[in-house]
Amino acid sequence: MCLAFDIHTHCLVELHVLNDTAKLNDTRRESFHQRALTAMELYGPCFCRIIDVGEHDGMCYYATSVNDGEFLKDYVERVSPMDVPQALSIIIQLADAVIELEDHARLLEGLRLSNLLVCRIDDSHVAMRILDLGLARSENPEPAPSVAAERKMAELSEGGAPANIIGCDCILRRIEAEQTQMSRELSDILSSHRVTGFSTYGEQIGPLHVNHTMSGVAFYHTEPVSE
C-alpha cells in the first residue's frame, strides 16, 4: 500500500497494488475484479470506502480513502483495560459489519481481525474500520471445507449410503472451522451422513505441528444372503 494523489478528486488516496499481478492467471485476475467491484458497493460505516478499481500497465489495483487510526490490537494493548462501553461499541460495530457481509461470502472470507482499525471520535467514542477485505490476496482456489466434506460424503455414498461412519480429525481444523463460522455447516453435513467421531492433535515435531488428516471407517449394510 502507498499514498497516491487522485487527479479527479484532488485528494490523497491509499493505493493498494497486487504484488503478484504478473503471476495471476485469467481466473484469479477476474476473481480480484469481481470481489473489488462488490466491495465498492459496501456503504456501511465500518467499511473503508473504495474509490476506484482498475488495472494499469498490467498491475491490478484498488484505491481507498486515506485511513487515519490505530490497529485494534495495538489500541487494546495501549488502553487496556478498555472501558466496557467502548469494548461493547467495537463488538457491536464488528457484528454489524459481519451481518452486512453475510451475503458476500467471498469478501467475508477475507476478513481478518488483524485488519481492523480504531478511529477515535472523541474521548469516549471510537469508530471501527475494516481496513482490508483480502482483495490484494489471491482468493483461495481450494474448495471450502464444507464443500470438500459434502463431496467426500457423496463419494462414499455412490454404491449406497453407509450405515455409520467413525472418523477423527485434527482439533486445530475444528478450531479453524469455529473461527471461520463454518462449524455448524460442517456439523450438519457430517450428522446427515451419520458420522460419529472425535478430535486428535496430530503430530508435533519440535516447533512444527503436522495436522492429522481426517480419517475414518465407513460401515455399510450387508446384502441379505439368500438361502
Burial of 66 (0-12, 13-18, 19+ CB in 10 A): exposed
* Calpha distance 131→137 (Å, rounded): 14
Specify the DSSP element, H or E, that contains 70. Answer: strand 70-71
pLDDT at 206: 63
CA atoms within 13 A on the CB side of 174: 14
Specify the DSSP element, H or E, that contains 218. Answer: strand 215-219
* Calpha distance 156→165 (Å, rounded): 10
Q: Which CATH architecture has domain 1-139?
A: Orthogonal Bundle (1.10)
59 contacts 69 by C-beta, under 8 angstroms: no
pLDDT at 3: 83
pLDDT at 118: 87
pLDDT at 14: 84
pLDDT at 211: 59
| Tens place of pLDDT per residue across the chain (227 aa) | 788 888 887 888 888 877 665 556 777 778 888 888 888 888 878 888 888 888 877 778 888 888 788 888 888 888 888 888 888 888 888 888 888 888 887 788 788 877 888 887 766 678 888 887 877 776 655 556 777 777 888 888 887 888 888 888 777 777 777 776 677 788 888 888 888 887 776 666 666 656 566 678 888 887 655 55
In the chain, where the domains are located: 1-139, 145-219
pLDDT at 123: 64
Q: Residue 67 corresponds to which cell in the numbers above?
A: 485511513
pLDDT at 197: 81
Q: Residue 158 corresponds to which cell in the numbers above?
A: 455412490
Global pTM reads 0.52
* Calpha distance 76→61 (Å, rounded): 31
Task: At 131, give phi and psi (nearest 5°).
Answer: -75, -35
* Calpha distance 215→156 (Å, rounded): 13
